[in-house]
Amino acid sequence: MLKYEDLYRDRLFEKILDRSNDGINVVDENGILVYVNQISADYSNNRAADMIGTPIADYYPDAVLLKVLKNKHAIFDKKIHYVGSKKYVVSSFPIYVGSEFKGAFSIFKDIQEIDELNRKVKYLELHISLNRPEDNFSSVIGNSGSLKEVLLKARRTVGSLAGPRHSIIIGESGTGKTMMANLIYKYAKEVGVIDSDAPFIEINCGQFTNPDIAAVEIFGSEEGAYTGSKQKKGLFEQANGGILFLDEAHALENYQTMLLTAVESGKIRRIGGGREIPVDVIIIAASTKNLKDEMLPELYQRLAQYELYIPSLKERRIEERENLFHYFVDKYIKAVEELHGIRYNVVFSPEAESAILNASYPRNIRQFRDVVNFSIDAAAPLISDIGDETEILTEIGIEHLPFEIGEESSNGSVVKRKDIIDEAAEKLILEFKEAGYGPRKISKMLAGEGYDIEYYKVAYFLKK
Whether 143 is covered by a domain: the verdict is: no
281 and 328 assigned to the same domain: no
227 shares a domain with 294: yes
Residue 133, domain member (yes or no): no
**Same-domain check for residues 152 and 286:** yes
The CATH code of the domain that includes 22 is 3.30.450.20
The CA distance from 455 to 390, in Å, is 29
Give per-residue pLDDT as tens, 106-141.
Answer: 998 877 777 677 667 766 766 666 666 666 666 688
Residue 180 shares a structural domain with residue 294:
yes
Position 376 scores a pLDDT of 93
Counts of helices then strands in the chain (DSSP H, E): 20, 18
Q: Which of 110, 139, 168 is the last residue of a domain?
A: 110
Percent pLDDT > 70 in the chain is: 89
Mean pLDDT for 1-27 is 82
* Alpha-carbon span 262 to 267, nearest angstrom: 5
The count of domains in the chain is: 3
Instruction: State the pLDDT at residue 2.
Output: 81
Whether residue 396 lies inside any domain: the answer is: yes
Does residue 117 lie in a domain region? Answer: no
Q: What is the mean pLDDT of residues 332-350?
A: 90
Lowest mean pLDDT among 77-86, 102-111, 316-325: 77-86
Residues 324 and 442 in one domain: yes
CA distance 461 to 359: 18
**What integer is the mean pLDDT of 418-437?**
80
Say yes or no: 263 and 326 in one domain: no
CATH number of the domain where residue 386 is located = 1.10.8.60
Is 219 inside a domain boundary? yes
In this structure, are 328 and 239 located in the same domain?
no
pLDDT at 157: 95
* Phi/psi-derived region of residue 223, left when phi > 0, alpha when psi is between -120 and 50, beta in every other case: beta
Contacts of 236 (CB under 8 A, 6+ apart): 218, 219, 220, 244, 262, 268, 277, 279, 281
DSSP 269: -
* 322, 389: one domain: yes
Q: pLDDT at position 117, please?
A: 72
65 domain-assigned: yes
Confidence at residue 188, expressed as pLDDT on a 0 to 100 scale: 95
Domain membership of residue 210 (yes or no) is yes
Q: Tell me the residue range of the domain where 348 lies.
A: 315-463
Instruction: Please say which residue of 293, 310, 327 terminates a domain.
Output: 310
What's the pLDDT score for residue 101?
94
Q: Is residue 393 one of the residues assigned to a domain? A: yes
Q: Within this chain, do residues 399 and 271 fall inside the same structural domain, yes or no?
A: no
Q: Specify the CATH number for the domain of residue 203.
A: 3.40.50.300
Pair 446, 364 in one domain: yes
Tell me: do 185 and 81 sit in the same domain.
no
**pLDDT at site 464:** 65
Are 288 and 378 members of one domain? no
Residue 404: the pLDDT is 47
Q: Is the pLDDT of residue 407 over 50?
A: no
pLDDT higher at 155 or 439: 155
Angle formed by the axes of helices 318-340 and 350-358, nearest 10°: 120
Residue 289: partners with Cβ closer than 8 Å, 6 or more residues away: 250
pTM of this structure:
0.62
